[in-house]
Amino acid sequence: MSSYSFALPSDLADYEWEVTAKGCFSEARLTVAGKQYRLNFYDAVRLGQEIESELENGSVFFEPNLVIVRSVTKAEMGRAAEQLVQSGLVASLIPE
């Protein structure tokens, strides 16, 4: 496995319940080989709502570095980041 770091806000524990309930989070950072990526996590329900809303407005839905997890929790986001690195999918991400 490549060396990487995954960072979330230091105070996430204070409002993780809210992030989980909301179903989306975009303040996660993954650093691999000196490149930093901002990851946008969604659960499937919230993603469906976002897509439907954009389409109803006559727009398209686009979200760079989109990562879908079962539930938007610290543990799930951490596991997903590790999977991105281990699988090599990090090569498909857009760096900041």
pLDDT, tens only, 71-88: 999 999 999 999 999 999
Residues in the chain with pLDDT values less than 70: 1-2
* Residue 29 DSSP SS3: strand
The answer to whether 39 touches 30, Cβ cutoff 8 Å, is yes
Report DSSP state, residue 86: H
Compute, in degrees rounded to 10, the torsion defined by CA atoms 60, 91, 23, 49.
20
Cα–Cα distances in Å, from 31 out to 7, 41, 85? 8, 16, 10
pTM for this one? 0.92
Strands (DSSP E) found in 23-88: 24-32, 35-43, 66-69
